[in-house]
A and B are shown apart, each in its own frame.
Chain A
């Protein structure tokens, strides 16, 4: 079983739609959680960190459920520019490396 699992998609949604991505992780010792965004043939870039209390950044809301080892990302009012792959990422204490999911591809159409 992969350490971080995501639905690869693609999710095809119209502009203005709300879309949610989910991710599960297997290591209960995981402590830091992130969503990265990766555009086609580009490097990953940090979208937002995920905190236990949940956090929001504009149209983006991230939530963490430690008991279920589950992370989510909600995008409201989707824009064409949101089209990208969204990578769920975890970090285990004491290890510098990030553990990435395979990514969920989002395509927003007009």
Chain B
């Protein structure tokens, strides 16, 4: 079956521009996660949804970052007034259940470059 998909795969934004990154999780997966991965680093947690409820947004670096999953499936990560330090790969992952023993499946990521 289809895996996690993300769009766009690459995004170049001028500093100050707003961007929206989309994630389509695996159908039926309850949990959805966003991670940020800087070059040479491991992924860092941003936020987490269980269905449409955003249960943890402790990793969002500033109030310029906003995520939503209004119908409990597709999710959008929005970054307002992008800064150069926002340049990174943004990874989305989904999981069948909330339980930590369930594998998280990652999408290919969106590579954001802010110039």
A residues within 8 Å of B by Cβ? 4, 8, 31-32, 42-46, 49, 87, 91-93, 95-103
Q: Nearest chain-A residue to B59 (Cβ)?
A: A97
How far does the alpha carbon of A43 sit from the alpha carbon of B33 in the complex, in Å? 14
Are A97 and B42 touching (Cβ within 8 A)? no
**Cβ of A99: which chain B residues have Cβ within 8 Å of it?**
45
Q: Enumerate chain B interface residues (CB-CB to A < 8 A).
A: 31, 33, 35, 40-45, 48, 50, 55-56, 59, 91, 95, 98, 100-101, 103-104, 106-109
Q: Is the CB of B108 within 8 A of A96?
A: no
A43: chain B residues within 8 A (beta carbon) = 91, 106-109
Interface of A is mostly: loop
Residues of the A chain whose Cβ atoms lie less than 8 Å from the Cβ of B31: 96
29 contacts between A and B (CB under 8 A): A8-B40, A31-B100, A32-B100, A32-B101, A43-B106, A44-B43, A45-B106, A46-B103, A46-B104, A49-B101, A87-B42, A92-B100, A93-B100, A95-B56, A96-B31, A96-B33, A96-B55, A96-B56, A96-B98, A96-B100, A97-B33, A97-B48, A97-B59, A98-B104, A100-B35, A100-B44, A102-B40, A103-B41, A103-B42
